[in-house]
Structure 1
Amino acid sequence: MSHQNQHEFEQRISEVSESYIESEVPPWDRAQTMTYRKEPLAFWQRPIGFISLAFSFLAITVVTVQFYKAELEASIDQRVETLVAKEMSVFKEEQETAFAMHGRELREDFRKQLSASTTQLATYILATNRKERQQNYSQLVEYMNEAREEDYDFYATQLRQLQSSVWPPLTEKKQ
């Protein structure tokens, strides 16, 4: 406030105070103006206390439910993990058994074919005369070596294909 404004304000206040007329306060019953309860309210009649109690119960309930929910989820996860591990072990055993049986069958087939080839060769050798045998002997040895290499390659390829199709995790572990 500037000095002049302050001076004007002071003059105005003094004028108003000089013009003020005192008057008497009218009579009234002051005790009736405000009523006070003499007996205290029950806890459920006090809204703040009741609301506080209700929210406390709600908070306890929420914490309890969260705890049981977490416990239940952990229990379910453990059960699922156990069941999956059990099923995987059964599946692994079945696959290993099937792989072993198929390998045995392939070996038996190979032995049968080898036996049949040997028998045919023996029959051929006995049936031909000595001169023809001498001429064809070198060719036969070459043929047998080539056939064996081809057979070994063929069965090795079949075994690899079978192993990768029947039980892929075994090939992944070895590599």
Structure 2
Amino acid sequence: MTVTSKYILLAYLLSLRDYSESLTPKDKENLNEFAKEFRAYPQEWESHVEPFLMAKIAENPQLNQLFTTYKDKLNQSDKIPLDLLPNLDSFYQLEKTLNSNPLQQARSEIPNLPDDTTPEGQAELLNNFAILISESEQPENTANQLTWLDKLKQWLS
């Protein structure tokens, strides 16, 4: 995963976290479509998945504005400290937050959780967060409950 793709996913999750309204059914459908595409074609991030996500974000002006703000902040920041990125503990927090059948289905599709001490493992974990949050019933509420996103937001301020 490139720095750019990592920043796009982080900006996306931060924008969901700060989204002040409830997402519309169409927005939720768009995010669910993104999750399905990302799950099916993770190796096609640059050619297919990223443009798909950008198009879906652009359809919601408030989400797009938040996304652009966070993406700009991330692009201007120094290297993000590792303790501000998701790890296995935060994945278990997400699991507890969702505590639903869709998560069990998703976990069955993630047979081995990645090693969060390697760059590749952290990238895979971030991908899994983006997918699972996008698939949740209320992505904006799910993202809002993750403490690592709060810490990252504070660091960016």
Both proteins in one fold, TM over 0.5: no
Higher relative contact order (CA 8 A, sep 6+): 2
Structure 1-normalised TM-score? Answer: 0.20
More helix, by proportion: 1
Larger radius of gyration: 1
